[in-house]
Structures are given as structure tokens and as C-alpha cells.
Amino acid sequence: MEGMRPNSRSGRHRADGRVHIPEVDPLFGSGIRMTAGWAQHDGAGADLGFWTLLWRLPRLMRISFGLAWHAGHLLLPVAIAAKLLAGAATGVVLLATNEALALLLAGTPTVERLVDALPVLLAVAAGGVARSLLSSLGDATNGKLAPRIDRAATVKLLERAVRVELVIIKNAEFRNLMSAAARGALSARMVTTYAIALVEAVTGLVAAAGVLTVLHPMLMPLMAAVTVPSAWGAVRMARARFTSMKRWTELQRQLETLSELLIGASPAEEVRAHRADGFLLHHYQRLARLSEAEQARLAGLEARTTLLSDGVAGLAKLGMYGVLGALLVSGSVRLAVAGTVLIAIRTGTHHLTSLVSAVNDLYEQGLFVQDWKQACDRAEAEAIRGGAFELTAPPDQISVRDLWFTYPNNEQPSLAGVDMTIRRGEIVALVGENGSGKTTLAKVLVGLYMPQAGAVWWDGRTTAEVDRASLYDHVALVAQDFVEWPFTARVNVTIGRATRRPDADALDASAAFGRADEVVARLDAGWDTLLAPEFLGGTMLSGGQWQRIGLARAHYRDAAVVIFDEPTAALDPRAEVAVFERVSDLAQEGRAVVLVTHRLASVRRADRIYVLERGKVIEQGTHATLMALNGRYAELYTLQASQHQDPVSPA
């Protein structure tokens, strides 16, 4: 337990700030909470005293207010001003009430006295109406502002995230920050909502306290004595709810995971065939009971806290009545003032309770907004910063010299001193065992990753010198894990070059290249079929059908440098042969083709083959020279070829 500090019975905070649930769950081990960035602030307020929260609030609110100003300009000041004026109206209503009571209770009630009190009574009513109108104006303005903040925060995060270097966006720590930031974008609107509620609570409280002080200096401490127990109850319950939420959120996520597994489409086959349904349902019930127990515990605590705070407040009220009575008897206050005091104390208690809960909510949501800010700043700092040189024409040759590349958090380099060259009109094949660095090399070649040492030359410029967007303009990529866009078949191909004007001939040619024409012909709505079974009317494609669509997309991109990373892994033999023939055509048309594959029969036609092992090129040459060399390539090739021969029958 070194490096931990006790927090609650349900969990401990480690020195690194992550939550550790001590009980080991039979399904989730020590909990899934620790992996999710957004979960780290849930219940954050539970660790701090109320005054510490108050002290840290302005810094958190500054970020949200900046965003609110950017999203809605005057809307936030208008909402705050409306709530301030509503608070002032509360003060006016209290003072007018006091006047009215003074007039009405000055002696035995008569019609004249009532008539005299009428203007003041009208002022009480008008003040009440004004307060409601102003408060509603504040709420309506905030209602207009909140979705704008939402959009502004989310769009800012998306715009920045999409420009981040690939190596960073794939990093686990950055992914956690992004997941917290996505939640923070939603929290930004809540911070302003709670801040406006806070303004209303503070002004209401100040109005009540101010009126009491004006009436008699002794009355303000009286209100404090009556409201403090309620405030204590509110703080205690807010804290208890936070602490409980830690456990509840954890259980809730586990329950959601189980219910997704039970009703989800992708695990459905295995859930049935392996009869996992009973197992999953049993654990769902078990965890749901835990969640129920936690909620029941909280309800019990709430009841006890309310009882205690109400009891103490009752005693305080008794004392207050005693003091009020003494003041009345001694003639220090009039009967009318005593009536106003009771109303003011009720108003003050209400606003104090709202204030406490607004501060708690503000702090917790503010932490998420801080994550959003941090993620936006980090994304900006990690944005792709290419050189200034615009690559208007495609390169004639790409070459790498003594190239070294190590992924962040890896100790071993994935590329260690690689030399290679590819020219337009050539097919270069990268082969080697799993993890030898083929995919990494292909990505470094086209500027998706930047080498730590050595350089990738696109003609006379390195990838670091050129503007990266202009470089990507000349690249088409069929990645191993190519994207299955949840859009129509047409968009799935044309997104390869979304800026191109619709061109039916080009679309047909690309479909023919990847043999996607056969796939589209079988779709109910042809090119307009939605390829996303998760949406109504969507269709599901097989792995090989998707691969054909991916190939068509790369062709539609019409780029001079084409990377094929295992382009035929899911294709049937006929489609595979056809695709490899068309890959040769691409080279003959003057493109530079990099082919990463384990199907060695298909690399025989390559102009050069590079054999990689642990990030190094160990052999290179044509198929014929490598076979003659009788090294690793020849060994792998012979091994694969032998799979196609009939087994020798035992004599």
C-alpha cells in the first residue's frame, strides 16, 4: 500500500491520483475504472474541504467563462446580470414585506390601514414578479448559451485533435487525455449553468443577510445560527454523494459493459454458442445488487443527516424565537420586523443550500473543463508541423538513408538503420516476419511518422522540410486495418479524394480495379447502399468485400505513391490474382508502388524486394537474385511454396 492514502471504505486514491478499488471482482479484477481518463475526476470534490474548493474555483471558472464569451459574447453577462437583479429584487421584496407588516401590525386592523398598506403590498407583488421575470430571463439566456458552448468546445477539440501527429494520437496517455477532454467539452456548458446558479444563490443570500442587518444588527447572527446546520447537512450529503458516485460509477460502467455484451450484435454468436448468457446474467444480477445496496446506504445516510441537521436547526430556531421574543419584549424590534425575520431566514437558508451544492458541482465539472483545456493545448503543441516547402509535383524518387525509428514507450527501435529506394514506375516489396518493421517503414516513407535519425528524401527534400498536407496529396494508402466508413458505398470510395468533383467514370474504373464492382452490383441500392449495419437500412459486408471497397478507394485517390499493406489478406484466390495484376498496371502507369505482403508468390514481379528482420534490411534484390542468394527470402519462399505441393505419400 505504499504511495497510497486512505480515502473511503470503498476505494483508495493512489499517489498517482488514480483510483484503486481494493476488492478484486471475479470479472473485472481490480476494476476497469483506472483505464478510463474521464473517470479520474468523478468524485474529485470528495477529497477536498469546502474552502479549498472555493479557493480553486476561480481558476477553473476562468476557462469556462473564456469559452462562454467566445461562444456567446454578451449572453453570459446578460444571464449573470439578470440573476444579480433577481437577487436585488429579493432584497426589495423583503424590505417591502417588512414595511407592509409594519403598517398592518401597527395596531388593530382597519380598512384605512389596509388602504394605507396597499402601495407597499403592490410593491411586494411587483418585486416578486420582477424577481421571477429576471430569474427566467437568466435561465432562458443560459439555455441559449449552453448548446453554443457545447458546440464551440467540441469543435475546438475535434479541430485540434485531427491535426495531431499520428505517433501522439496513438499514444495511450494522449488517448486518456482525449477521453477526459471529450467529457470536459460537455462539462463546459454545465460550469456556466452552475456559475449562474451560484450568482443567484449568492445574491439571494446577500439580500437576505443585508435586509436583516438593516433591521437589527443582532438578526444576522441569528440567521447564521439557523442556516448553518442546514448548510452542514448539504455539504455532508454532497460529499457523501460524491464518494458514493465513485463506487456507483464504477459499478454502473461494469453493468453497462455486461448489458452491452448480452444484447450487442458482435458478441451474439459466441454468447449463444458458448452458452455464456447464464454466466453474464448471473454477474449482471450480482453487480446490480451491489449497486442497489450502495444506493440504499446513501438514502439511509441522507435520512440520518437530514434528521440531525433538522434537529440542530430546530434547536437553533427555538433559540432564535427566544432571542426574538426577548428583543420584542425589550422593545428593540417591532412585531412586524419579527415577521420579516422569519421570511428572510427561510430565503437565506434556501439560497445557502443552493450555494453549497453549486460550489460542489462547479468544482467537479470545472476539473473536466480543465482537462479539455489541457487536451486542446497539448493537441496544439503536438500538431503536425511540416516545413514550408509545398510539394506541388509528385516525386520521381523516394529514398531513405540510415533510417531509425522508435515508437514512444518502446525501448527497441522498430527501424534500425534502413536504406532503401523506390522510383516512379516501380513496385518495391517489403517482406519479413511479423513485427520486422514493414508497416512502420511504409508509414515513415509517406511522412505519417517522422524518423528520429536518418531521413526520408522525396527527390531533393526530406519529409521534415515539406508541408505535410502537400506531401499527403501524393499518397494513397491501403492500410492493414483500413477504415470501414459507416457511410454509403459511394462515399466509401470517393472519400479517397473527397475534394474531387463527382466523376462516374472514375468511380467505375476504381471499382473495377478493386473488383468492388461485383460487390456494388449485389447491393440493394447500388452505390447508395449504406454500409453500416448499426443504422436502419444499413448493410453488412464480408471482410473480403470490404477489402475490395478499400482497394477501390485507394485507386480513386489517384496518387503517385501507393502503399498496399497486405491488400489481399481477405480476398478469394481469383480476386487476389486480379488485384495483383492491376497493381502491376499501376506501376506501369508511372506510380511508385510499395507492397507489404506475406504472399511471396505475389512479390515475384516486384522490381526490388527488401527483406526485413528486427527493423533491419537483411537482404535485397529481385526475386531471382534473392533465390540465388539462398538466404532468408529463399527459405521463406520455399517454405510457402511447399504448402502448395501434394504431400509425399509414405512408401
Ligand X SMILES: Nc1ncnc2c1ncn2[C@@H]1O[C@H](COP(=O)(O)OP(=O)(O)OP(=O)(O)O)[C@@H](O)[C@H]1O
Of 192, 439, 463, 488, the one binding ligand X (CB under 6 A) is: 439
Of 98, 440, 492, 597, the one binding ligand X (CB under 6 A) is: 440
Please work out the total of residues on this chain that contact ligand X, with binding judged by CB under 6 A.
12
Q: Which is nearer to ligand X, 437 or 454 (CB)?
A: 437
CA 25/CA 21 separation, integer angstroms: 9
Residues 513-572 that bind ligand X (CB under 6 A): none
Q: Which is nearer to ligand X, 436 or 602 (CB)?
A: 436
Cβ neighbours of 216 (radius 10 Å): 17
Q: Which is nearer to ligand X, 61 or 428 (CB)?
A: 428
Q: Which is nearer to ligand X, 386 or 437 (CB)?
A: 437
Judged by DSSP in three states, 407 sits in coil
Interface mask toward ligand X for 153-192; x: CB under 6 A: -----------------x----------------------
Q: Does 437 sit near ligand X (CB under 6 A)?
A: yes
Per-residue b or e along 333-362, where b marks 16 or more CB atoms closer than 10 Å to that residue's CB: bbebbbbbbebbbebbbbbbbbbbbbbbbb
Closest CA to 178 of 150, 158, 192: 158
Q: Which is nearer to ligand X, 53 or 442 (CB)?
A: 442
Q: How far is the CB of 468 from ligand X (least distance, A)?
A: 19
Judged by DSSP in three states, 538 sits in coil
Judged by CB under 6 A, the stretch of 274-282, 429-437, 486-494, 511-519 that binds ligand X is: 429-437
Of 203, 243, 365, 436, the one binding ligand X (CB under 6 A) is: 436
Q: Does 410 sit near ligand X (CB under 6 A)?
A: yes
| Strands of the sheet with 11-14, listed across from one edge | 4-8, 11-14, 19-20
Q: Does 254 sit near ligand X (CB under 6 A)?
A: no
Closest CA to 372 of 184, 190, 191: 184
Of 31, 43, 432, 454, the one binding ligand X (CB under 6 A) is: 432
Q: How far is the CB of 431 from ligand X (least distance, A)?
A: 9
First to last CA, the chain: 67
Judged by CB under 6 A, the stretch of 119-127, 195-203, 430-438, 464-472 that binds ligand X is: 430-438
Of 414, 545, 568, 620, the one binding ligand X (CB under 6 A) is: 414
CA 441/CA 563 separation, integer angstroms: 11
Q: How far is the CB of 237 from ligand X (least distance, A)?
A: 46
Q: What are the residues whose beta carbons fall under 8 Å from the beta carbon of 230, sequence distance 6 or more?
A: 309, 310, 313, 349, 352, 353
Judged by CB under 6 A, the stretch of 81-89, 203-211, 317-325, 435-443 that binds ligand X is: 435-443
**Element (H or E) spanning 402, and its range?**
strand 397-405
Q: How far is the CB of 14 from ligand X (least distance, A)?
A: 26
CA angle 266, 271, 275 (to 5 degrees): 165
Closest CA to 200 of 326, 354, 336, 406: 354
Judged by CB under 6 A, the stretch of 49-57, 183-191, 199-207, 406-414 that binds ligand X is: 406-414
Q: How far is the CB of 451 from ligand X (least distance, A)?
A: 13
Q: Does 649 sit near ligand X (CB under 6 A)?
A: no
Between the alpha carbon of residue 238 and those of residues 109, 233, 360, the distances in Å are: 47, 9, 7
Q: How far is the CB of 167 from ligand X (least distance, A)?
A: 8
Strand partners, 592: 561
Q: Rounded to 5 degrees, what are φ and ψ at 158? A: -65, -45
Residue 259 in grid coordinates: 448489458
Q: Which is nearer to ligand X, 281 or 639 (CB)?
A: 639
Asked if 363 and 47 count as a contact pair (C-beta separation under 8 A), the reply is no
**Element (H or E) spanning 489, and its range?**
helix 489-494
Q: How far is the CB of 433 from ligand X (least distance, A)?
A: 7
Q: Which is nearer to ligand X, 314 or 408 (CB)?
A: 408
Judged by CB under 6 A, the stretch of 87-95, 195-203, 250-258, 427-435 that binds ligand X is: 427-435
Residue 356 in grid coordinates: 453549497
Please identify which residue in the block is written with the cell numbers 506501376: 587
Q: Does 232 sit near ligand X (CB under 6 A)?
A: no
Residues 575-614 that bind ligand X (CB under 6 A): none
CA 310/CA 315 separation, integer angstroms: 9
CA 482 vs. chain centroid, Å, equals 23
Of 267, 339, 417, 435, the one binding ligand X (CB under 6 A) is: 435
Q: Which is nearer to ligand X, 136 or 480 (CB)?
A: 480
Q: Does 144 sit near ligand X (CB under 6 A)?
A: no
Judged by CB under 6 A, the stretch of 225-233, 281-289, 407-415, 470-478 that binds ligand X is: 407-415
Q: How far is the CB of 603 from ligand X (least distance, A)?
A: 14
Q: How far is the CB of 441 from ligand X (least distance, A)?
A: 7
CA 145/CA 505 separation, integer angstroms: 47
Q: How far is the CB of 414 from ligand X (least distance, A)?
A: 4
Side chain identity at residue 188, one-letter code: A
How do 453-458 and 427-432 pair as beta strands? Answer: unpaired
Q: Does 451 sit near ligand X (CB under 6 A)?
A: no
Q: Which is nearer to ligand X, 244 or 436 (CB)?
A: 436
Q: Does 407 sit near ligand X (CB under 6 A)?
A: yes
Asked if 403 and 583 count as a contact pair (C-beta separation under 8 A), the reply is no
Residue 449 in grid coordinates: 511518422
Strand partners, 561: 475, 592
Cβ neighbours of 612 (radius 10 Å): 27
Q: Which is nearer to ligand X, 436 or 529 (CB)?
A: 436
Q: Which is nearer to ligand X, 238 or 418 (CB)?
A: 418
Residue 384 in grid coordinates: 503536425
Task: Write the burial class of residue 467 (CB in 10 Å: 0-12 exposed, 13-18 middle, 19+ buried).
Answer: middle
Of 33, 131, 246, 438, the one binding ligand X (CB under 6 A) is: 438
Q: How far is the CB of 432 from ligand X (least distance, A)?
A: 6
Q: Which is nearer to ligand X, 426 or 613 (CB)?
A: 613
Residues that bind ligand X (CB under 6 A): 170, 407, 410, 414, 432, 434-440
